[in-house]
Structure 1
Amino acid sequence: MTTAVYLASASPRRKELLSQLGVEFTQFSVDADESPLPNEQPRALVERLARLKAQSGVELGYTDRPVLGSDTVVVIDNESLGKPRDKNDFIHTLKRLSGNTHQVLTAVAFATQNNVLSCVVSTDVTFKTLTDEEINTYWDSNEPQDKAGGYGIQGLGGRFVTHIAGSYFSVVGLPLYETEQLLKTFLRR
């Protein structure tokens, strides 16, 4: 695929993943309010944010090719878990994930001035039971601070995962298959 797009994300993980699709792209970041709306369900939240990021890129003047926006949330008990606010929030989050299965929802959106198209990919991730020492050591690694749900499956946090059902790349931050298919569909519209 030799299509050129804009990537409305500062994420190095999304940049690396998008490059695996062979898509030419220019990366920039957008400043989007990621606060959930009152009573907004996780699936609606992640899709709204991906669309918002893509459309924000269009509003910034990136209009000569499609803009890709994406967002990822970790969900347990139908509650979205964002990036940890501090160490206590991180510990609370990891204790909730410990020994349980949670969902990682990643939404992908493409936008131009006249069109927006999006999809949401859900992946089930199961964690082993974590010790307090493992949780504290992981925090001290500085890896979890900027990750949804407080862990990175592609890094040190991957050792906590006992099972995954769905797209590994979605958990990292950009589902490759679904992104490619969505772009093909978007370009045909």
Structure 2
Amino acid sequence: MYRIGLTGGVGSGKSTVSSYMHELGIPVIDGDKLAREAVIPGSLAMNRLREVFGPHIFLPDGSLDRLKVGEIVFNDEEKRQKLNGIIHPYIWYRTREELIRAQENGFPVVVLDMPLLLEISWQLRVEEVWLVEVPLEVQIARVISRDGFTREQVMERIRKQMPTTNKMNYADVIIDNSRSVEDTRRQVREALKHVPGFQFPKGMEEV
């Protein structure tokens, strides 16, 4: 089974690409979704988070206070590494389960949609890396519009990620998502023509 690692910076529009690949019949393993699963109340990861960070990171209903955790780890690299060390093993465990399920169901290609694919060296676990990118100003404008952040808040988050120019060194495919949705879809279709084992659903080669 051929594994494509899909990644991109905040505001790059990676979900536009992953949604279209799903529409084309390719299973998509959503890293963000698995990360949310990891911190459901009562999970092993949640118990470990309580031990490491204390009870103040939880809301009254027992769920994780994501804003509080973000404040703690955003400017503390050591604590961010501790958080990742708790969450990422679960994500890989669940990813392996989904990979096995896709293989058992006969899918020739699967997408690993992971925002931090390169930061955690998961490029070693896929056959290809696809990078979704947009110009910096487009990236900033999208995040401000979507999340209500200030420009400086967006820039802080961008600076915490691997620079796009560095990510390009790992990318086998680069999708420019700065123009129309149809243009992005065209690039996806073109790239998929070269993926071993993939066949377009009937009538969708040029949709």
Bigger RCO (CA 8 Å, 6+ sep): 2
Rg larger in 1 or in 2? 2
Give the TM-score normalised by the residue count of structure 1.
Answer: 0.30
